[in-house]
A and B are shown apart, each in its own frame.
Chain A
Amino acid sequence: MNAPTYNFAYLDEQTKRMIRRAILKAIAIPGYQVPFASREMPMPYGWGTGGVQVTAAILGVTDVLKVIDQGSDDTTNAISIRKFFEKTAGVAVTTSTLDATVIQTRHRIPEAPLHEKQVLVYQVPIPEPLRFLEPRETETRRMHALGEYGLMHVKLYEDIARFGHIATAYAYPVKVNARYVMDPSPTPKFDNPKMDNCPALQLFGAGREKRIYAIPPYTSVVSLDFEDHPFTRYKHDACCALCGAGESYLDEIVTDNAGSRMFVCSDTDFCETRQAEGHRGSESAPYAENRHA
């Protein structure tokens, strides 16, 4: 069902070559932001134009694509990007983390461990971790070049001074391969440890900012912290209401106007797989029974 006017995976071959070159450079210098000639995509900036271009450049006919948005396979962004590549590339798609070879993600890393045959493509809104402290691009580039990262700790210092702990909960800065400080895109810091020594290739695409960066497989990724305020993961103190998982990252869902809420896995595939395996949470009992208990 390829529309005949499109090249495979929408982008023309020259553009893909250009993007692949940027990707190769990014892999060669882990954590370094490589500029690339980002194209206009048939979607607005902020909807994953960077991720989509990276995916389009690496996608092959035999690939199996999974797209997630905040961990979920069935939100608008995930569905529309998945459909986009079904239409323009005709590749197989899946919601299973295990079966996918390319996973494009917005703001989550799947709970199921990734393996060597996979590429994780992140959509990145603001690639520069130092941006909110240093507005000049010329200056931040120089700071990266010279490895001057004291400023990053100023941000963490401010957090502790203001809130008593490092309150940065997402886009938590990491140091890649003991060299470049990198913004892991707005993933919750809960996911940061999964980036370290990950068997899968991780690619980051920022469409509006025209940057690509990468973490090659099995690369060290260290979250920045202070000796006396070490990095900690954060998650809601609850279990998933649908599958009972205690170790997954949870979304909070408000269920009425009286303040009731439930927590469910943000990774829908993880949650559904567990439910299929027979795991049950507090809310998965029949509705009426639970209500009148």
Chain B
Amino acid sequence: MLDVTKAPVDNDQPLLLAEGLSKSFGRLHACRDVSFALYPGEVLAIVGESGSGKSTLLQLLSAQMTPNAGSVSYRMRDGVMRDLAALGEAERRFLFRTDWGFVHQDAAMGLRMGVSAGANVGERLMAVGHNHYGKIRQTAASWLERVEISTDRIDDAPKTYSGGMRQRLQIARNLVTEPRLVFMDEPTGGLDVSVQARLLDMMRTLVSELGLAAIVVTHDLAVARLLSHRVMVMQGGRVIETGLTDQVLDDPREPYTQLLVSSILPA
């Protein structure tokens, strides 16, 4: 896990605050009474098996879905805490493409597969009014370098990229506007182990360099251990255990967490 001391310490106000979040689909309770606070620069992992409500929670937190009960508030760049449900659609979408990032498990959902990598990275810049081709391209190139994609692939479409490259491109595309909060939904899902390792290493560097806060949904405890400061364990839509990553993973309290931890195959 990350060195906690590297996280910015002057930020004692939460960046994102979830209070009593619940969401049900008919009889199915996907998420029950979830509350937590996320601080600037902090990486929170949400772990749990399939169907435990992780992805639903991520959707609620990122205002892509409205909860049945509870609220999510976010500290805007001006320092004011705002209830996401009270934001207008224009504000919410603006937030989504400037101050937030969303890394999908399937890169095809987060990228425009038919347009070049440079344009994929540059899109957010153009969306906030950058209007100088040369500068946009330069920024795109420097971001490709940071995510270890060779700049001579800048004019190739991501459909010609490998899975790992697509995922790295997706990260670059999200980080180009220097967001303060990034949501990641199984960012390493479907990648082979060596590619996962490289991706995780890169994400860890970027997160600490940029002082990003991140919420990472994963079923892979290794990802949680490598990336996150804190872990939240979900089962059946409830948060059953939460704490510092090493504490939860090395000394799990709940039987279910113990089961999860013990089911990791020894390397």
Binding between chains A and B = yes
Check B128 against A227 for contact (C-beta < 8 Å): no
Check A157 against B136 for contact (C-beta < 8 Å): yes
Q: Chain B residues with Cβ under 8 A from A153's Cβ? A: 126, 131
Alpha-carbon distance between A148 and B154 when the two chains are bound, in angstroms = 24
Q: Chain A residues with Cβ under 8 A from B89's Cβ? A: 142, 146
Query: Which stretch, B51-59, B113-121, B182-190, B214-222, touches the partner chain A?
Result: B113-121
Select A227's contact among B115, B132, B154, B155, beta carbons within 8 Å.
Answer: B132
Q: Chain A residues with Cβ under 8 A from B204's Cβ? A: none
Instruction: Tell yes or no: B238 within 8 A of A by CB.
Output: no
B120: nearest chain-A partner, CB-CB: A154
Instruction: Tell yes or no: B65 within 8 A of A by CB.
Output: no
Instruction: Tell yes or no: B124 within 8 A of A by CB.
Output: yes
Check B118 against A161 for contact (C-beta < 8 Å): yes
Within the complex, what minimum Cβ distance (angstroms) separates B102 from chain A? 16
Alpha-carbon distance between A157 and B132 when the two chains are bound, in angstroms = 10
Select B126's contact among A146, A150, A161, A228, beta carbons within 8 Å.
Answer: A150
Select B122's contact among A133, A154, A162, beta carbons within 8 Å.
Answer: A154
Q: How does the 8 Å CB contact mask read for A139-157 relative to B, with 1 for contact and 0 for none?
A: 0001000101011011001
Q: How does the 8 Å CB contact mask read for B127-152 relative to A, with 1 for contact and 0 for none?
A: 11001111011000000000000000
Q: Chain A residues with Cβ under 8 A from B122's Cβ? A: 154, 157
A residues 116-155 near B (Cβ < 8 Å) are: 133, 142, 146, 148, 150-151, 153-154
Task: Report how many residues on chain B are interfacial, defined by Cβ distance under 8 Å.
Answer: 24
A157: nearest chain-B partner, CB-CB: B119
Looking at chain A, what size class is its interface with the partner chain?
A: 10 to 19
B residues 59-112 near A (Cβ < 8 Å) are: 89-90, 93, 97, 112
Check A150 against B133 for contact (C-beta < 8 Å): no
Alpha-carbon distance between A161 and B144 when the two chains are bound, in angstroms = 15
Alpha-carbon distance between A158 and B155 when the two chains are bound, in angstroms = 8
Check B133 against A229 for contact (C-beta < 8 Å): yes
Q: Chain A residues with Cβ under 8 A from B126's Cβ? A: 150-151, 153-154, 157
Instruction: Tell yes or no: B123 within 8 A of A by CB.
Output: yes
Alpha-carbon distance between A8 and B119 when the two chains are bound, in angstroms = 51
Q: Chain B residues with Cβ under 8 A from A229's Cβ? A: 133
Select A150's contact among B118, B124, B132, B137, beta carbons within 8 Å.
Answer: B124
Check A154 against B134 for contact (C-beta < 8 Å): no
Query: Which residues on B are within 8 Å of A, measured CB to CB?
Result: 89-90, 93, 97, 112, 115-116, 118-119, 122-128, 131-134, 136-137, 154-155
6 CB-based A-B contacts, threshold 8 Å? A133-B115, A150-B123, A153-B131, A154-B112, A157-B122, A160-B133
